[in-house]
Each structure stands twice: as structure tokens, then as C-alpha cells.
Homo-oligomer: A and B are copies of this chain.
Amino acid sequence: MIVVKMGGSDGVNLEAVCADIATLVGAGEQIVLVHGGSHETNLISEKLGVPPRFVTSPSGHASRYTDRQTLEILVMVEAGRINKRIVERLQQSGVNAIGLSGLDGRLLEAKRKETLPIVEHGKRKVLHGEYSGQIERVNISLLRMLLETGYVPVVAPLAISHRHEALNVDGDRVAAAIGSALNAQVVVILSNVPGLLKDPTNEASLISQVPLSQAQEYLERFAQGRMKRKMLGAIDALKSGVKRVMIADGRVEHPLQRALAGWGTVIE
């Protein structure tokens, strides 16, 4: 069982990922693919006259303020545009993909964060009407049923709240949650860098091994921007039962086979 996370449109080579999935599924592997969609949502939001608003949390993380209007665009782009583009491409590679969001069959249940504490111009504030959440439950039986009948689930990073509202959730955390729920042997996070870098401006400075016991330290010392979330997702996954997380380059040929062969940052 392998869980793969890829971005929506951030330079990851979709055709190459799909070809690798076809090879692995052909060899009997069970695979769940989780995708993102942040970048493309921003583009469509701008065009629709609802520009995204990014905020900084008190702990210094950048995140999107997801009010209901933003959520609806996010749902449209991630569960519609990106999810079905990936499903279409996998079908072209001979993989019987089935696209789902976390809403469908209550695949991902999350606790809603209704308020978002932020820091703006050095001051603490609280934004209300936030629609994001933290995953608390994965509908394992739905995923297992699909996997056992030969489908490859493709999951958009949305969840459903206890009050049945759609929520925005982080794609890396979705991969971690699904990986641990299914006892995956490995979670592969593909991105537009070769892995965790000592120096983010130098791709040759790849850190190839991170022991779980030092992962938090590595995160604080080396991870910047989106890499912070990937490291948090990796730590989450490992703490809840996944044996190995790979953060690897999704821009190359055979990105998935390379990652499984150890190219990238191994956290275990």
C-alpha cells in the first residue's frame, strides 16, 4: 500500500506520475493518490474577482483565509478541475481511477476551525467564518472497498465537518492521515524540489536521511514555506504508524519509481 501526494500544478510531471502509477498498479500495488490545488485556485479566484487572502499565524505559518466564498471556489477547482484532470490522465494511462473529495461518503471527517488567529502588522487578531479543519477520521472501509475492486482513489483535499460543512484541509496532512489509517508502508510526497534542502536556493544540498527523532529539529532548521507543511505531514504520518515518508522530486521522469528507490529525503 502506497499513498502518493502531488501538488495541483506546481511543476510536478503529471504524465510521468500517472505512467508510474500504471506500472505499480500493474505489478499488484495498491495506491491512493492525494492532490493539492492551491496554486490553480488562486488563479481562478483572481479571474472570478475573489482574490485569495493569505494570513500569518501567531506561530509564523502562512495560510489561506478560507471564508465560505473562497471555500466554494476551492471546492470547484480542487474537486472539479484538478481532480478530474488527474482522473482523465490516469484513465489514459490504463488506470481505473475514481476521483473523490473528503465530502464523498464522508471520506475525511474533520473538526472545523471556525476562527483563525493571525498576526497582522505586528498585532494579534482573530478572523471569523473560517472553513478549514483538522482531519479526525478517515472512512477506511470505503477506500478498502474501492482498492480491493481494482480502483485507484484520487482524493481532493477537502473534508466534511461534524456539522456536515465542506472544509479546506491541507493535502500533505490528508496523505498522512490516509497513510496511517491504511497502514501504508510508505507515503511519498512529490514536489517541485528534490526533497528537504540544507540551503533552499541550492538543489544540490539535499538532505537524504532524517531520523524521526530529529525531524522536528530539521523542520525548524531547514524547512521554509510549503516544506514546513510537508515535514509536519511527514511527522504526523510517522507518529501514527506509517513506516517511511519520502519527500521527493515530482518534476523528473519516473518520479514515483525514483522516490521508492530512495531518491529524495527519507524520513523514518
CB distance from A20 to the nearest CB of B (A): 18
The distance from the CB of A21 to the nearest CB of chain B, in whole angstroms, is 15
Chain A 138-166 residues near chain B, CB threshold 8 A? 141-142, 145, 149, 151, 158, 160, 164-166
Q: Contact at B81–A76, with CB atoms within 8 Å?
A: yes
Which residues on B sit within 8 Å (CB–CB) of A44? Answer: 48, 76
B145 close to A149 (CB less than 8 A)? yes
A252 within 8 A of B: no
Is A77's CB within 8 Å of the partner chain B? yes
List residues of A (49-103) whose CB comes within 8 Å of B's CBs.
49, 72, 75-81, 83-85, 87-88, 91-92, 96-101, 103
Beta-carbon contact of B99 and A87 below 8 Å = no
Interface of A is mostly: helix
Cβ of A253 within 8 Å of any chain B Cβ, yes or no, is no
Which of B49, B96, B151 sits near A47, CB closer than 8 Å? Answer: B49
A81 to B74, CA, bound (A): 9
- A105 proximal to B (CB < 8 A): yes
Task: Give chain B residues whose Cβ lies under 8 Å from the Cβ of A160.
Answer: 88, 91
Q: Quick one: which of B78, B80, B96 contacts A78, CB cutoff 8 A?
A: B80
This protein's copies in its complex: 2
Chain B residues positioned under 8 Å from A85 (CB to CB)? 72, 75
Instruction: Contact check, A75 vs B79: say whether CB atoms are below 8 A apart.
Output: no
The reply to whether A84 and B77 form a contact with Cβ atoms under 8 Å apart is: no
Given A47-B47, A79-B79, A79-B83, A166 and B88 contact (CB-CB distance below 8 Å): yes
Most chain B Cβ neighbours within 10 Å, of A76, A96, A160: A76
Question: Roughly how many angstroms separate A243 CA and B147 CA in the complex, as a whole number?
Answer: 35
Contacts A75-B84, A80-B81, A166-B84 given; indicate if A105 touches B101 (C-beta within 8 A).
no
> Cβ of A81 and Cβ of B91 under 8 Å apart?
no
- A107 CB to closest chain B CB (Å) equals 8
Q: Are A76 and B87 in contact (CB under 8 A)?
A: no
Closest chain B CB from A250 CB (angstroms): 22
Chain A residues proximal to chain B, CB less than 8 Å: 44, 47-49, 72, 75-81, 83-85, 87-88, 91-92, 96-101, 103-106, 141-142, 145, 149, 151, 158, 160, 164-166
